[in-house]
Structure 1
Amino acid sequence: MRNTQTMNVLLWILQAVLATMFAALGVMKSTQPKEKLEPKLPWTADFSAGTVRFIGLAELAGALGLILPAATGIAAILTPLAATGLALVMVPAALTHVRRKESAAIAVNAVLFIAAAVIAWGRFGPYAL
């Protein structure tokens, strides 16, 4: 029982950290003009403003999905689904950075992918809510 509680707390912490990161990035991408984002996020130059905004909205939705369903107990299955979706978003993101030879960004994508995958594994499996 103690290990289950510890893992549940660790998953909640991971969910909160990941949700905070994706929410901040999602708000930034979905509310700021592409031209303002390009100095901070050079990859945005390769995509239309609509695509960048869509990515931001997807990240924001994923961030909300990591917390709200599990916290409210309403449709808690959406939490691991949100984590899975965010992990999947990191794959083309990493491929974009590979193409652009941005190794630091690839590392960030890998860390975010792993965190999201751990949440998906835990919340789908042994530590489901």
Structure 2
Amino acid sequence: MNLTLWIAAGLLTAVALAGGLSKTLIPKTRLASQHGGEWTQDVSPGFIKALGILELMAAAGLILPAVLDIAPVMVSVTAACWIVLMVGAMITHGRLGQSKFVLLNSVYLALAALVAWGRLGPWPFGA
């Protein structure tokens, strides 16, 4: 199960890194023109950049605390925060009628819940 939790955290890290980089580096107009990026039309560029920075921080928080053995409980905290972020993403995409993205975000939510539960409960780091 330890390997499964590492893989789940790694997958979430890749998703957070890709999302964070795209939101911080790609202009709002280009994001808005892509499928799934329509939600950016109704928010400020600053909000998009801030969300991107949060996702980059999540990418670091899902892996680095455990790898560096510095406050590894932060992996679970980050996973719990990712759950909140995914609920918001699901609501946003749901309002736009983008059921595929709602489903995708629910998969990410489930992975984050697995990591948070597993690392806080039966399979903490160092056990």
Give TM-score, length-normalised by structure 1: 0.92
Q: Return the match for 1:50 from 40, 46, 53.
A: 46
Q: Return the match for 1:70 from 60, 66, 71.
A: 66
- Percent identity for Structure 1 against Structure 2: 38
Q: Return the match for 2:6 from 12, 25, 43.
A: 12
Q: Report Cα offsets for 1:32-72 as digits up to 9, x if no partner.
A: 21111112211111211111111111111111100000111
Name the CA distance, whole Å, in 1 between partners of 2:27 and 2:12.
24
Partner of 1:21: 15
Q: Which has the higher contact order (CA 8 A, sep 6+)?
A: 2
Name the CA distance, whole Å, in 2 between partners of 1:44 and 1:108.
18
Give TM-score, length-normalised by structure 2: 0.93
Structure 2: segments with no counterpart, 5+ residues: none
RMSD: 0.9
Name the CA distance, whole Å, in 2 between partners of 1:96 and 1:10.
29
Name the CA distance, whole Å, in 2 between partners of 1:46 and 1:122.
37
Name the CA distance, whole Å, in 2 between partners of 1:127 and 1:39.
42
Number of equivalenced pairs: 123
Structure 1: segments with no counterpart, 5+ residues: 1-6
